């Protein structure tokens, strides 16, 4: 029996496609609507991909964690139903893929999380009794690392590794929205390092940076895990205290003052210890983040006027204006 011109054409196209895929550095899978690996093609870049030939004949649920296999099978069936290309980003560890040889799964980097971008499209005319898709997996681990680095650079102060001002304000607005929604208290601390200019003038900016790092570290350790601490700029810091009423804010402000008072300038024994002044304000009805910060800032300046190395709350001075 002779093959029809159409079947000959489809077979030629299939062979051409496979030849192209084998030459590519990225790995591709032909998967059917039951999640079975029909064929594994390509992946010539051995530094980026494990040899997946051993997966052929196995199903997703035989080789992948159940939740991952469920998700992948749903994607395959949705692509077959829609007939459209779909992209998907997902993390995976080589050690999690049961169908790979033990020698591959036990390699030193097998437990490292890697990121892939899948491009999934229907593959009509493929010589298989069930509908299949082509799943092209591109290793994007390096790209993801760069994205994380850029995201961190946009939100983290490089000196203290705390949230930067903009990120902290975003967190404060989120916490304020939550406080209003659930009618819970919220407080905010404005923190300023006392006589910081003197540190820079006497010891230089490198010593000033070391002092700021020490203040940030001690404050972070003194606060709770649920609190948000950030650097507002210069020698000023802000702490956002969720679920915290006035008395709790007073306790935490005092704790910060005590935590920082133990820091000693390392070069000149005749220098005073590093200290901070703290203003603690608790959210009032109808108040926004800007108003809350303004009150805390005024209270912080009141603490400086009271002699520094102390804290003042809005219960102590309810009408203190900012300086």
State both tokens at 320.
């203190």
The verdict on whether 247 is a catalytic residue reads no
Rounded CA gap, 295 and 228, in Å? 18
DSSP-based three-state secondary structure for 292: helix
Rounded CA gap, 266 and 207, in Å? 9
- All residues at 6 or more sequence positions from 302 whose CB lies less than 8 Å from its CB, including other chains: 279, 312, 317, 320
Rounded CA gap, 184 and 270, in Å? 46
- All residues at 6 or more sequence positions from 55 whose CB lies less than 8 Å from its CB, including other chains: 29, 37, 40, 63, 97, 99, 100
Residue 203 CA: distances (Å) to CA of 127, 130, 147, 210, 316: 76, 75, 37, 11, 36
Rounded CA gap, 264 and 207, in Å? 12
Residue 245 CA: distances (Å) to CA of 172, 294, 319: 15, 18, 18
**Helices 165-182 + 141-155 axis angle, to 10:** 80
Cβ proximity of 49 and 6 under 8 Å: no
State both tokens at 322.
């900012």
Cα 95 from chain centre: 23
Pairing mode of beta strands 236-242, 228-233: antiparallel
State both tokens at 188.
């905010």
φ, ψ dihedrals at 322, nearest 5°:
-65, 150
Set 89, 117, 213, 235: catalytic member: 235
Residues with active-site annotation = 235
């Amino acid at each position: 029996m002779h093959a029809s011109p159409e079947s000959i054409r489809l077979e030629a196209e299939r062979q051409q496609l496979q030849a192209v895929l084998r030459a590519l550095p990225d790995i591709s899978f032909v998967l059917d609507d039951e999640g079975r690996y029909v064929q594994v093609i390509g992946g010539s870049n051995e530094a980026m991909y494990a040899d997946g030939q051993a997966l052929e004949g196995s199903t997703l649920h035989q080789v992948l964690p159940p939740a991952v296999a469920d998700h992948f099978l749903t994607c395959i069936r949705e692509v077959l139903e829609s007939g459209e290309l779909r992209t998907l980003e997902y993390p995976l560890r080589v050690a999690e893929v049961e169908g790979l040889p033990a020698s591959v799964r036990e390699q030193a980097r097998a437990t490292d999380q890697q990121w892939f971008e899948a491009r999934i499209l229907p593959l009509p005319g493929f010589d298989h009794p069930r509908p299949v898709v082509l799943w092209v997996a591109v290793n994007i681990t390096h790209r993801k690392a760069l994205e994380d680095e850029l995201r961190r650079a946009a939100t983290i102060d490089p000196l203290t590794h705390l949230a930067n001002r903009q990120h902290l304000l975003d967190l404060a607005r989120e916490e304020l929205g939550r406080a209003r929604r659930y009618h819970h208290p919220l407080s905010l601390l404005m923190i300023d390092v006392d006589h910081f200019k003197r540190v820079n003038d006497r010891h230089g900016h490198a010593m000033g940076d070391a002092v700021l790092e020490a203040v940030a570290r001690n404050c972070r350790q003194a606060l709770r895990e649920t609190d948000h601490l950030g650097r507002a700029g210069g020698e000023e810091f802000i702490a956002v205290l969720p679920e915290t009423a006035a008395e709790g804010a007073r306790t935490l402000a005092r704790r910060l003052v005590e935590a920082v008072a133990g820091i000693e300038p390392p070069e000149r024994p005749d220098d005073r210890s590093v200290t901070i002044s703290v203003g603690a304000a608790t959210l009032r009805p109808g108040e926004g983040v800007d108003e809350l910060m303004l009150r805390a800032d005024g209270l912080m300046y009141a603490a400086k006027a009271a002699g520094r190395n102390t804290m003042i709350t809005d219960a102590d001075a309810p009408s203190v204006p900012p300086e």
